Amino acid sequence: MKKLPTVLAVIFFLSTLFLIYFFIFRGSVIETEDHRVAIQLSKNNTDFALAEMRTFLESIEQINEGILNKDADLIFEGGRQSGAKIVEETPKGMMGSLPIGFKKLGLSTHAKFDAIADSIRANNNFVQAHRELNSLLNLCVTCHRTYKIVAE
Ligand code: HEC
């Protein structure tokens, strides 16, 4: 009978590991024929993710226009609009559906938008802003190559 607490502890430990794997690392994903990982999201969460993407594109356009016209304010606003503050608006429970690689790329993208806003404020350097915009675009490309969304 003395073994029972140990057995229960092991079961508890393994279930915790499983939950951590499922909700933090794996997310709700399926493999697809085009070799991208498909993330299954509810209709609401899909709408949220795609609206965020369209805001990304608007920010990119604004930053690019700011670089062309040497308009630091436009670059700053474009960057902030897609910065880390959006993460707080993520619907409850959505993070659990996202695989860890997607979360990392998403957070890096928000951080990069903030970095563009901060550095134009600090240095007023348009060549640097252009360089940063380019490395930001690499994150968009990497994620689009790897993942897609399927609404449940
Ligand atoms: C963390 C991953 C990730 C990052 C980073 C990312 N995207 Fe996306 N984006 C996606 C996924 C997934 C879709 C859905 C594509 C699909 O299902 O085929 C998408 C869709 C879009 C769409 C279509 C929106 C719609 O209404 O259908 C646009 C526009 C877009 N992304 C722009 C961008 C831009 C610009 C960037 C970079 C600043 C970016 N994305 C960065 C994952 C990402």
Name the residue with the closest Cα to ligand 1, atom 43.
143
What is the C-alpha separation between 78 and 57, in angstroms, rounded? 10
As a whole number, mean pLDDT of residues 19-47 equals 85
User: What spacing in Å lies between the alpha carbon of 50 and ligand 1's midpoint?
Assistant: 7
Query: What pLDDT shows up at residue 1?
Result: 62
Residues touching ligand 1 (Cβ under 6 Å) are: 50, 53-54, 56-57, 60, 102, 105-106, 109, 136, 139-140, 143-144, 147-149
| Span from the CA of 144 to the centroid of ligand 1 (angstroms) | 6
Distance CA 135, CA 128 (A): 11
Tell me the CA–centroid distance for residue 27 and ligand 1, in Å: 18
CA 82 distance to own-chain centroid: 11
Q: What is the pLDDT of residue 18?
A: 82
Residue 28 has pLDDT above 90, yes or no: no
Q: What is the pLDDT of residues 50-64, one digit of tens each?
A: 999 999 999 999 999
Ligand 1 atom nearest the C-alpha of 102 is 1
The neighbour count for residue 145, using CB atoms within 10 Å, is 10
Q: Are 109 and 139 in contact (CB under 8 A)?
A: yes
Question: Average pLDDT in the 35-40 region?
Answer: 93
pLDDT tens digits for 78-136? 999 999 998 889 998 899 999 999 999 999 999 999 999 999 999 999 999 999 999 99
Is pLDDT larger for residue 108 or for residue 151?
Answer: 108
